[in-house]
Structure 1
């Protein structure tokens, strides 16, 4: 082994021990090497062998067209106007991500999703499907038995579905056909892309790298750090291994409150500060009740039966709860107080946004 490469591997072992003992993050956890990413591919294919849960081909014409084209490719020509109505075939889209620097023959997982009106893909087998990149070039092919975690059952008057039976996976179903390009940067430099761009983090990364490899790192903004690296491929691998293990002390994260607007979930970090404020929690309920009434005419009259609706609207204002946030309030106190008054997740989100607007909540609110 060359001396230069051996030195880099010794650096990697030493820095790995240092990273475990020093409190903080590493270059690897704070950034990724530019170009070192997976390559997404997509394809269109057929799933066969379904137990009568495939596409209704009378409503999904492209499934029949795909079957016809596949049979023609295999040397089977159907008579003109031949009517087919299989229920064990489904048209699907196949997606996957090829690992960085993958070589021909390397396998990866693929996800299969129904395109038509198939009720379930459970028990199906994906036929060989070409997987294309964004440029339209074929990079891999996929085939194999589907693993479907969802299930469904249907009766005459009721049905039950658990998870999604129209989506499945094929473990190691994708096979790389074209080698992926190298992703270790240019001939004499490596680009580090920060996972969360920040000027403080970029500056501390440059300082930490230059302590180990003097004069090799330069910051090119809040999200990019350029590092001079050896041009020899073997030495470059050892250099990157050592580089990724360099410990860095990142800045304190910005206090953040995350609100999921879809289901009302609210997540608050432990470093949130709250200034003195008063909050009132109340609610206004409006109920609308429609009572159908039937107006029946006399037996010998000429009138007709009429259905009339009697509508009652009721508005009720519930008692408001007023509570005071003291000077030394913590996140635990806020949660305990809001739980005491019975605030719902939607009310909690509204309260936090109002406190932020009033300047009492010292945190960033992120709505998903």
Structure 2
């Protein structure tokens, strides 16, 4: 436990913090895929959301048509004002295509669609559904800074489970990479990006105006890209981070599809896009070596921290991971981000209505109930 401040305002939980917050003026966005259907962690998340009493819970759902009816039926059992936003239906796809926004699909695109719908409320909270330690007060914690004049808040927490340190992509890639960039560039954006204690956390909150102004990564790198946009839109003085304690959720392998290695490419591209947007000129050839030097220092430090707490730690394995992540250090390439909602021809209510119609059609084809969940307008 500490009480130090970072470059952004840092709100600590000294034991049971549960501040008053404008939950009734907020929408909570919980992106989900069909693999999370009826899981223990999502069950806990939605049970806790029943205690939050938000204005709306928006679930951007990525799933095949045949899974949509049972997903809606399951979510309808929770006592929350629910909008299931099926992101893969033909009407939604047609709206995106007509607006010139067809392209790669992923979590970022789903969240972007939900942000447009959720921003009809004053505040928007975004978090994942895979957290087994989730509590209702997490939403109140994230919202509190917004009621106190901040425009953006980000959650942070310890990733310690089963006597091991997790959060590997943050510890072994993001942290040393930002450190290496800051070592050769004196720029406020790097101070900002380096101030967040868990920059890859999916938990954040923002004002509706900021939500409508975000440019969003389509797939990996959503969280880092959001930080870059928060810097552009709110600046250092408009952002805060909030202590959410200790989180336990899913882990990924390093290699393979959707593994940490693949994720590092998206995270790296989003980070480099953010710093280039702010005017930093990166020497990518020199950066890889500086990153490995910084990563070695971090591995040594985390190894000492693990030993101090009698945790299992394999320093050589962690160094091997850093060598894998170094391959992700490259120019960010073509900018495929979705634009700010304020810069599109799309209407969020039309998107919600299209998603509802797509879901109703999927339910009708499956012979399921057509009124088991609330879709579109709350």
More strand by share: 1
> What's the TM-score bracket when you normalise by the shorter of the two chains?
under 0.3
Relative contact order, CA 8 A, sep 6+: which one is greater? 2
TM-score w.r.t. the length of structure 2 is 0.20
TM-score w.r.t. the length of structure 1 is 0.20
Which has more radius of gyration? 1
More helix by share: 2
